[in-house]
Amino acid sequence: MAMLLGKKVGMTRVYDESGELIPVTVIEAGPCTITQVKTTETDGYDAIQVGFEDVKPSRRKRPQVGHAKKAGTAPKKFVREYRFSDKPEKEYQPGDSLTVAVFADTKYVDVTGTSKGKGTAGVMKRHGFGGFSASHGTERRHRAPGSQSGYGTNRGWSGGIKKGKRMGGHMGTDRVTTKNHSLVSIDEEKNLLVVKGAVPGPAGGYCIVRTAKRPQ
C-alpha cells in the first residue's frame, strides 16, 4: 500500500495503443515530505504523517512551525496521516521525501477529495426528486418536496423532523472517495499521475491518492 498527497490539475484525454480515447484526470502528486513517524512503542500504532506544498511560516502557528522544523522542513499546506495495518517493511525517517515512484508497480488507485460546493439546493437537484406535475392545475409547487408530516416527523415524541429526512439544503463540499481508477501513466520528472476517469473536487483542489484497497 502506498499513499501520496496531491493537487488536481484538470482533465484531458489520451489514446491507448489500440486508438481508443480515454478520459483522464491529471494529478500533481508530491513530492511529499514525512513530517512525523509514529510507532507502536511511542504512539500505540504505526503511521507516518505526510505534508504537501510548502507554506510561509508566517501563515502557520508556532507549534506547527516547530513541528515542521523538527523534521527539517518548511510548514506544509496540506498534511495527512497514513496508518499502516502491519509493521512497515521500510524504515521511514522524518524529512524523507515520497514521490510518484511509489506507484511504479500499481495498476489501480483510490482517490479521496472534497467535492465541488453547489450552495443551497432543492430536493430535485440534491436528492433527485421527480417534482410535481408540470400542468393540470399545479401552481407554484413544481419543484416542492411534498408533505413532511406523517413518516417524516417524530409524531408522539419530539414532533420534529426525523434525522436523515431528505430535504433541501447545503449541497457539496463533502469528502468523497472514488475507487479503482486505472493508473494510465506516471511522469516522475514533473510529479504527475494520470488516472482514468474523473476525481472529486475542482481543478486546484487537494486530494489523497492511495493504492486501491479492492482492485478490480
What is the overall mean pLDDT for the chain?
91
158 and 182 assigned to the same domain? no
User: Which amino acid, one-letter code, is at 54?
Assistant: D
- Check whether residue 21 and residue 108 sit in a common domain: yes
Q: What is the pTM of this model?
A: 0.86
Q: Domain range spanning residue 164?
A: 123-171
What's the domain count of the chain? 2
Q: Is the CB of residue 3 less than 8 Å from the CB of residue 84? A: no
Q: Does any domain span residue 216? A: no
Tell me the three cell numbers of residue 95. 524529512
pLDDT at 150: 74
Residue with cell 492511495: 210
The predicted structure's pLDDT at residue 137? 87
Mind listing the pLDDT tens digit for each residue in 45-99? 999 999 999 999 999 999 999 999 999 999 999 999 999 887 777 888 999 999 9
Whether residue 21 is found in the same domain as residue 85: yes
Instruction: For 100-145, write each residue's pLDDT tens digit.
Output: 999 998 999 999 999 999 999 999 999 999 999 988 888 889 999 9
Residues 132 and 26 in one domain: no
Residue listed under C-alpha cell 486501491 = 212
CATH number at residue 18: 3.30.160.810
pLDDT of residue 74: 93
For residue 200 the three cell numbers come to: 472529486
